[in-house]
Amino acid sequence: MHTAREEQWRVRSVLSVLSWREGALLLLRSEGLSYAEVAAAVQVSPTSVGTLLTRAQQAFRKEYVKRYGPA
Amino acid sequence: MAPRDDDVARWVEDRLARLEPSDSTGDERRGLAQLRQPSRQPSPRSRRWIGSALAIATILVMAIATPSLRGFAQACGEFVMRTLPGTHATQTYAQTQGRRPFADDDWRDLRGHPIALSAFRGKVVLVTYWTTTCQQCASEMAWFNDFQRRYQERGLEVIGVLVDDGGVAAVKEFVTERPIEYQVVHRDRTNADPNLKSIPTTFILDRDGRVAARHVGYCSKRELETDIRTVLAEAFIDGSKRLQ
């Protein structure tokens, strides 16, 4: 069982290897910003935010599992 | 079987929720979103009109002798600046890609020793150009003290660049008589400086020494602070290795 601090470290590590856009999409959305706000922040079309966010989530999970296993 | 998108989304959300609030606050992320929204630019005519009105207002403010009234008038001016759309036309914010490096310059500390910007690499640096005779710059001094105190631990360094003529000796007394809590350097105004077009001009440099934001002329404390917090937060979004 790893500590909360270690978990934070893991999350940061994974975010650091994603692209800037993927990291920003995940963080901005997790902060509760709407799709329109996220779209404006990362300069993509609001209609493509959903798709890009799903890809970013998949990329995050894939990288996390590759590094630390399916915790 | 591959997990469903909904399950992945919940799984990722759960992990992101474990990050400390201090890593990157909601304010910063909202600031990031706000800054990257395309700004409404006024037409040249309306910009001239706004500029004239502000110039008259500034003269009136300066004409008020009572410090408390002057402070009140200044606060009113800031409020107007913040609420009128398009009046922060001097504010620029560049995404992390495509930022230009800040041109290094011949800076000297108050003892005449050279100060290299590269010494601050790895920090977010606020560089503000000012002169001892600039009233507006004097009002910003307290803001920069505040920024230095509150954001130093998170990696901010404030540098005030005095560009008065006459060398370090001409400004030394002025600086030492005032409660300035950030680094003050001097450069000779007679040297051409590609960074400087107007006084005051303030740059916010990212941790790689590139220009992340620039404010030419008057702007509010809140605008500067939003930029500072955003650029500090970028370290987390853009390269979280630095925070490990």
What CATH number should be reported for the domain holding residue B97?
Answer: 3.40.30.10
Q: Is residue B174 part of a domain?
A: yes
Beta strands B211-216; B156-162: pairing state: unpaired
Contact A41 B13 (CB under 8 A): no
Report yes or no: A23 and B27 within 8 Å, Cβ to Cβ.
no
Q: Is residue B109 part of a domain?
A: yes
Q: Is residue B143 part of a domain?
A: yes
Q: Is residue B183 part of a domain?
A: yes
Backbone angles phi, psi at B191, to 5 degrees: -80, 140
Q: Is the pLDDT of residue A10 over 60?
A: yes
Q: Is residue B37 part of a domain?
A: no
Q: What is the ipTM of this complex?
A: 0.90
Counted domains in chain B: 1
Q: Is residue B232 part of a domain?
A: yes
Domain that holds residue B211: 90-243
> pLDDT at position B191, please?
62
Give how far B30 is from chain A: nearest CA, Å.
Answer: 8
| Chain A residues 21-40 within an 8 A CB cutoff of chain B | 23-24, 26-28, 30-33, 37-38, 40
- The position carrying tokens 């955003």 is B230
Q: Is the pLDDT of residue A50 over 90?
A: yes
> Residues A66, A71, B4, B10: what is their CA dihedral angle, to the nearest 10 degrees?
-120
Q: Is residue B192 part of a domain?
A: yes
> pLDDT at position B146, please?
94
pLDDT in tens, chain B (244 residues): 677 888 899 999 888 887 754 444 445 455 555 544 444 444 455 555 666 666 665 555 555 555 555 555 555 444 444 434 333 434 556 666 678 888 877 888 888 888 888 888 899 999 999 888 887 787 788 899 999 999 998 899 999 999 887 778 778 888 888 889 999 998 876 666 666 777 888 999 999 999 988 888 767 787 788 788 878 877 666 544 343 3
In order of start, what are the domains of chain A with their CATH numbers?
A: 18-68 (1.10.10)
Q: Is residue B31 part of a domain?
A: no
Sheet of B114-115: strands edge to edge?
Answer: B91-93, B211-216, B201-205, B124-130, B156-162, B183-186, B107-108, B114-115
A40: which strand partners? none
> pLDDT at position B243, please?
38
Cα(B236)–Cα(A13) distance, rounded to whole angstroms? Answer: 10
Entry pTM: 0.53
Beta strands B156-162; B183-186: pairing state: parallel
Which residue in the set A10, A16, A24 is minimally distant from B241, CB to CB? A16
Cα(B108)–Cα(B168) distance, rounded to whole angstroms? Answer: 8
Interface contacts (A, B; CB < 8 Å): 90
B203: which strand partners? B127, B214
